[in-house]
Amino acid sequence: MPIISFKIIFLSFIAYFLCTPILLAQTPDTDVLYDTVYRKRKGKLVRKKLTASNYKKEDIDIYISPFALLEPTPTIYLGGEYFVKDRLSIHTDLGYMVNLFGLKLNTEIDPSLSAQENQIDQTILNSSKANYVIKPELRWYREGNNAKDASYYGIRLMWRNVNYLKNKQTFEEYAFSTLTNNWTAIGEDNISIYQVRRRSIGVQFLVGWKNSFFKKLSSNLYMGVGVRYISNVPTNKAFDPFEGFNDTLLDELNLEFLQFNKQYKFVTMDFALGMRFGGRLK
């Protein structure tokens, strides 16, 4: 089942249309007219037309992805694109996930059980570990790949390594009765913290569009579909015999890949939709 954020999708579309300048005219050669500016000279406004050349071999673009900071796990991305041929390029995104708002488990703030009883089973990013994503991508541009309106097809690989912290309620001891065939909790309950290591590998087929504005700046909207393999491994987790009997809605819907408290390997469909902003270095 696809993992997708509708808020990010909506903001991406809005930003795309706002940042795409109106095409005023276009020359038939390599230079493309894409904007007109007015500059004040000697007290008068002077009209100047801006042009940009087509992409060609050895051109370089760099990008950032500001909307990635709105994801459930905020990520700082830096990407680069290098044209190995006029219509063929290699693009790579490097991302580092951050605890943007400095969130903490309630156990870290107040270790007393009374402060935790209504806020058990929290999940936050483990900032003490390396949390990163690498996305290399091969792009093939269609005919007429000018800097004003370039479209492409791409295939992207993805490697993601994320570490989380969770808290849970546990007891001092557990006893199993062969008479009732049930577990019994003994002693006082408390809150324990454990780690979760989640890794995923995926491949996606993409279609994208690039538009220039302010001469050397550009926006890049893309979407695609693919598959993702997810490995979820909790570590240092306290024993809890009751966990398997407390099925949640996610268990009933078989949405295993949305759960962090269980160990599993899973393959799921994966949708991509995003927006980048950047500029040409060369």
Its pTM stands at 0.72
What are the structure tokens assigned to 243, written together? 């966990």
Judge whether 55 lies within some domain: yes
In a domain, 1, yes or no: no
**Is residue 52's pLDDT more than 80?**
no
Residue 149 vs residues 26, 32, 38, 130, 169: alpha-carbon distances, Å: 11, 9, 23, 38, 55
Residue-wise pLDDT tens digits, 193-232 = 889 999 999 999 999 998 888 777 889 999 999 999 999 9
- Measured between alpha carbons, how far is 171 from 225 in angstroms, rounded to an integer? 45
Higher pLDDT, 116 or 98: 98
CA distance 132 to 114: 35
Express each pLDDT in 119-134 by its tens digit: 677 888 998 899 999 9
d(CA 196, CA 248): 19
Distance of alpha carbon 199 from alpha carbon 201, whole angstroms: 7
Establish if 140 belongs to a structural domain: yes
pLDDT at 2 over 80: no
Q: Which has the closest alpha carbon to 195: 263, 137, 98?
A: 263
Q: Scanning the structure block, which residue is given the tokens 């007891």?
A: 171
> Is 73 part of any domain?
yes
- The domain total for the chain is 1
Considering the chain, what is the average pLDDT of its residues?
77
Q: What is the domain range of residue 55?
A: 6-280
* 57-102 pLDDT tens trace: 888 999 999 999 988 889 999 999 999 988 899 999 999 999 887 7
Q: How far apart are CA 51 and CA 27, in angstroms?
A: 9
